[in-house]
């Protein structure tokens, strides 16, 4: 102990001469830092109400609530997060997980209110003073993600391996790939609302993650009896609304569905789905057409105990799925796999029987308690431009039918396909293969009114068609098929400026000065299909209501004006497999209701 130990502490007095360090008014003088995790703000126009913020919040401080002025629509639940500041700990995990980057925390941190209820509010909806604060916590950058942003790419045949054959292109996910892809799902369920069949998508994706294929398979069959087919060619509206797709790539929901179906062997179906020993209820239902709608209705009716008989005009089942979609997209053995299970439930199919010609609808009415008609769209539409009456101008649907049946078709050296939809791509790619087989080269041009960005075909179809050496030249309107000496020389086209008028009606506008000529020996028209309802006799038709667009009006359970007749599928909702399946399911419920209550 020295004297300096007594004196040295007094040097602290020198601090008296230093400036003060405290802030007089911290409320005004000190804004939060640029990254400060203060009060919430939500850009409600970007938010889709997926609920990931609610799922990740460890304090259950966030609830998704309905908000006035925001409607539920495809890809938007219509709900928005409400934050309870009695529970929130400002960790900002809700911001980091947000699938749209709409939610953020501002750098505002002082708020005084008399009403404790105010502390539970809906950011972005309830106006707050900090709504325009640009600073605050945002989703960190770069490469900071809470779930995978990129799809697991699907193994496919290389173009050179597939351009001369109809072997299926897509190989399917391996277990590891499927689990990796399934892991990206945030289980928001927005896809369920958009899927016409309202499939339990997050549930079966979870089953994949947990490697519980049988559970996933059961979930598929709850709403969709054609998983092998849908797993390959579904229009996957679910993927277009997938919340993960807002900042990254949407989940490959279709391929995941296919993965489940591919893992289950045919002989295990009945055991897994527990569909043995269904008691027959003694009632009979006829189904016209074995397309997706007919098969779906037959499946669910059979499960309810009805005796179901399907009448099919072709020699094989599947309708447009077999006769419209090429085998490289949907192999026939996969259709058989799905159909055979439905047949194993006791459903009968009478092939080569055209209702309307071989047996009348009235006859079915007298033999069965109810009838479901899912007859599809089988009539090709023509552009009716000069030259379409030439014998080498074909309808795509006729050619696809013949390819399925294994019949010889005319394949010219130079072909032009008119149309930009999926069917146009199907015939283009089928003919390209046939050209390759026959001539060893491809010379086919597909052209459409729509430009590259608005072509209705799936993007991957266009890409793959180009990989197979087909030329896709969109944005042209067909004017005339040039014929010389009885032979087609080509298609004259003009530039298409717009397709729809201001009122949204089909009314294409052309730039007549901008013309082009596609050389061809053969033209295929593929601009959509129409329905043929000639099989409905006049005495039945008088009970039906037909709307101004020529479509038959049915109720929500697909019951037509003639109470015993239920109609669904493409002729009601337009060409789409998953809509057909959903219609068939609902119609089965409707038929059951009709036969049990006679309403």
Partner 1 sequence: MEKIKNIFNWEPDRSLYPEKDENGNLIVDLSSQKFTKVWHGPNHPGTTGNMAIELTLSGDEVVEAKTHVGYLHRGFEKLMERRLYIQCFPTCVRMCVAEPDYNEYLLARSVEELDNLEIPETAKWLRTLVLEMARLQTLLRTVPGQAGTLSLGMGVQWGVYLRDLVLDLFEELTGGRVYHMYIIPGGVRGLLPDGFKKRMEDVLLKIEDFIVRIDNLIFKNILFKKRTIGIGHIPAEWIDKYGVVGPNARAAGFKRDVRKDYPYLVYDQLDFDIATLTDSDVYARSLIRRQDLITTIDLIRQIMAKMPNDGDIKSPTPNVLHWKIPKGEVYVRSESSRGEYGFYTVSDGSEYPRRINLRGPSYTHAVVLLEKLLINANIADVHSIMVSLQTCPPEIER
Q: Which one, of 327, 502, 348, 513, lies nearest residue 429 by Cα?
A: 327
Residue with tokens 């795509």, as numbered in its chain? 396
With beta carbons less than 8 A apart as the criterion, state whether 295 and 338 touch: yes
Q: For partner 1, which is the closer residue by CB, 90 or 394? A: 90
* Residue 195 CB, nearest approach to partner 1 (Å): 21
- Here's the x/- map for partner 1, 50-69, by CB under 8 A: it reads as --x--xxxx-----------
Tell me the closest approach of the beta carbon of residue 242 to partner 1, in angstroms.
Answer: 14
- Residue 174 token pair: 């391996």
- x-marked contacts with partner 1 along 187-206 as a string, rule CB under 8 A: x------------------x
Contact in structure between 139 and 96 (CB atoms under 8 Å):
yes
Residue 238 Ramachandran class (φ > 0 left, ψ -120 to 50 alpha, else beta): alpha
Q: Please state the closest distance from residue 70 (CB atom) to partner 1, in A.
A: 24
Token output for 239: 């993927």
Nearer Cβ to partner 1, position 152 or 397? 152
Phi and psi at 175, nearest 5°, equal -60, -45
**How is residue 511 written in tokens?**
């730039």
Cα(539)–Cα(545) distance, integer angstroms? 13
Pairing of strands 284-288, 370-373: parallel
Q: Is 323 in the site for partner 1 (CB under 8 A)?
A: no
Residue of 461, 451, 437, 444 whose CA lies nearest to 518 = 444
Taking every pair of C-alpha atoms in the chain, what is the biggest distance, in angstroms? 125
Q: Nearest distance from residue 65's CB to partner 1, in Å?
A: 21
2 or 599, CB closer to partner 1? 2
489 touching partner 1, by CB under 8 A: no
Q: How far is the CB of 462 from partner 1 (least distance, A)?
A: 31
Kindly list the distances between the CA atom of residue 219 and the CA atoms of 214, 227, 418, in Å, as whole numbers in the listed order. Answer: 9, 10, 40
Residue closer to partner 1 (CB basis): 208 or 301? 208
DSSP 41: E
Q: Would you say 244 and 151 are in contact if contact means Cβ atoms under 8 Å apart? A: no
Contact between 248 and partner 1 by CB under 8 A: the answer reads: no
Residue number, 109 or 510, with CB nearest to partner 1 = 109
**Which x/- pattern over 130-149 shows residues binding partner 1 (rule: CB under 8 A)?**
-------x--x-xxxxxxx-
Q: Which residues contact 229 (CB under 8 A, 6 or more apart)?
A: 292, 318, 321, 330, 334, 335, 338, 577
Residues 6+ positions from 129 with CB-CB distance below 8 Å:
108
CB of 247 or CB of 463, closer to partner 1 = 247
Interacting span for partner 1 (CB under 8 A) from 177-185, 309-317, 343-351, 437-445: 177-185
Q: Which stretch binds partner 1 (CB under 8 A): 15-23, 77-85, 120-128, 473-481?
A: 15-23
Q: Between residues 142 and 277, which has the closer beta carbon with respect to partner 1?
A: 142
- Backbone dihedral angles phi then psi of residue 443, each to the nearest 5 degrees: -140, 80
User: Is the bond leading into 181 cis (omega within 30 degrees of zero)?
Assistant: no
Residue number, 148 or 356, with CB nearest to partner 1: 148
Structural contact between residues 342 and 299, judged by C-beta atoms closer than 8 angstroms:
yes
Output the smallest distance, CB 571 to partner 1, in A. 42
Interface map 103-132 toward partner 1 (x if CB under 8 A): --x---------------------------
Residue 87 touching partner 1 (CB under 8 A) = no
93, 193, 469, 533: residue in contact with partner 1 (rule CB under 8 A): 93
The two tokens of residue 117 are 């209820």
Binding piece for partner 1, criterion CB under 8 A, among 64-72, 85-93, 481-489, 530-538: 85-93
Closer residue to partner 1 (CB): 31 or 574? 31
> Closest distance between partner 1 and the C-beta of residue 255, in Å?
17
Beta carbons of 194 and 75 less than 8 angstroms apart: yes
Nearer to partner 1, 77 or 313 (CB): 77
Question: Given the rule CB under 8 A, which of 178-186, 309-317, 508-516, 551-559 is the region that contacts partner 1?
Answer: 178-186
Question: Which residue(s) pair with 519 in the sheet?
Answer: 490
Q: Which of 165, 202, 176, 196 minimizes the C-alpha distance to 50?
A: 202
Per-residue binding letters, 147-166, with partner 1 (x by CB under 8 A): xx------------------
Q: Which two tokens stand for residue 286?
A: 């006829």
Bridging pattern class, strands 379-380 and 370-373: unpaired
Nearest distance in Å: CB 220, partner 1 = 20
Contact track, partner 1, 17-36, x by CB under 8 A = ----xx---------xxxxx
For residue 104, what are the β-bridge partners?
A: 41
**What is the smallest separation between the CB atom of 32 and partner 1, expressed in angstroms?**
7
268: which DSSP letter?
G
Contact between 8 and partner 1 (CB under 8 A)? yes
Q: Is 390 in the site for partner 1 (CB under 8 A)?
A: no
The footprint of partner 1 (CB under 8 A) covers 1, 4-6, 8-9, 11-12, 15, 21-22, 32-37, 52, 55-58, 89-93, 96-97, 105, 137, 140, 142-148, 183-187, 206, 209
């Amino acid at each position: 102990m020295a004297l300096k130990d007594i004196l040295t502490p007094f040097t602290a007095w020198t601090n008296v001469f230093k400036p003060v360090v405290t802030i007089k008014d911290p409320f005004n003088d000190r804004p939060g830092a640029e990254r400060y995790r203060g009060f919430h703000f939500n850009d409600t126009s970007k938010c889709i109400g997926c609920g990931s913020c609610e799922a990740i919040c460890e304090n259950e401080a966030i609830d998704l609530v309905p908000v006035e002025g925001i409607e539920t629509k495809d890809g938007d639940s219509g709900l928005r997060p409400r934050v309870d500041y009695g529970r929130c700990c400002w960790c900002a995990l809700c911001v980091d997980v947000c699938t749209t980057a709409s939610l953020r925390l501002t750098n505002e941190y002082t708020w005084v209110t008399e009403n404790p209820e105010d502390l539970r509010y809906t950011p972005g909806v309830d106006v707050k003073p900090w709504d325009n604060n640009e600073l605050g916590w945002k989703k960190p950058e770069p490469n900071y993600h809470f779930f995978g942003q990129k799809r697991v790419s699907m193994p496919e045949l290389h173009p050179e391996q597939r351009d001369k054959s109809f072997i299926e292109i897509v190989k399917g996910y391996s277990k590891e790939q499927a689990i990796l892809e399934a892991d990206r799902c945030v289980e928001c369920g927005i896809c369920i609302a958009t899927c016409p069949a309202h499939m339990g998508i997050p549930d079966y994706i979870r089953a994949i993650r947990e490697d519980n294929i049988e559970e996933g398979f059961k979930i598929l069959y709850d709403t969709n009896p054609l998983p092998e087919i849908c797993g390959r060619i579904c229009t996957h509206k679910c993927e277009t609304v997938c919340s993960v797709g807002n900042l990254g790539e949407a989940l490959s929901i279709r391929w995941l569905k296919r993965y489940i179906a591919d893992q289950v062997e045919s002989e295990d179906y009945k055991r897994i789905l527990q569909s043995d020993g269904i008691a027959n209820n003694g009632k009979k239902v006829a189904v016209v057409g074995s397309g997706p709608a007919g098969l779906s209705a037959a499946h669910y009716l059979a499960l309810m105990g009805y005796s179901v008989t399907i009448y099919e005009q072709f020699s094989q089942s599947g309708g447009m799925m077999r006769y419209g979609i090429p085998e490289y997209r949907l192999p026939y053995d996969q259709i058989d796999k799905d159909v055979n299970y439905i047949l194993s439930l006791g459903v009968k199919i009478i092939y080569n029987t055209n209702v309307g010609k071989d047996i009348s609808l009235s006859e079915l009415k007298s033999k069965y308690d109810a009838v479901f008609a899912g007859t599809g769209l089988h009539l090709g539409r023509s552009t009716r431009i000069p030259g379409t009456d030439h014998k080498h101008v074909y309808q795509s649907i006729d050619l696809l039918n013949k390819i399925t049946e294994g019949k010889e078709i005319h394949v010219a050296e130079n072909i032009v396909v008119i149309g930009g939809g999926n069917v146009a791509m199907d015939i283009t790619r089928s003919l390209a293969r046939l050209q390759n087989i026959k001539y060893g080269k491809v010379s086919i041009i597909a052209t459409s009114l729509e430009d590259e960005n608005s072509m209705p075909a799936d993007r991957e179809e266009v890409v793959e068609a180009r990989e197979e050496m087909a030329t896709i030249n969109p944005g042209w309107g067909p004017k005339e098929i040039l014929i010389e000496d009885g032979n087609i020389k080509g298609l004259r086209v003009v530039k298409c400026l717009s397709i729809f008028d201001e009122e949204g009606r089909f009314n294409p506008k052309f730039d007549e000065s901008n013309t082009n000529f596609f050389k061809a020996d053969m033209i295929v028209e593929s601009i959509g299909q129409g329905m043929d309802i000639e099989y409905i006799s006049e005495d039945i038709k008088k009970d039906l209501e037909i709307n101004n667009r020529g479509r038959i009006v049915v109720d929500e359970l697909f019951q037509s004006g003639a109470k015993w007749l239920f109609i669904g599928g493409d002729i009601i909702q337009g060409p789409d497999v998953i809509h057909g399946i959903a219609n068939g399911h609902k119609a089965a419920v409707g038929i059951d209701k009709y036969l049990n209550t006679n309403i």
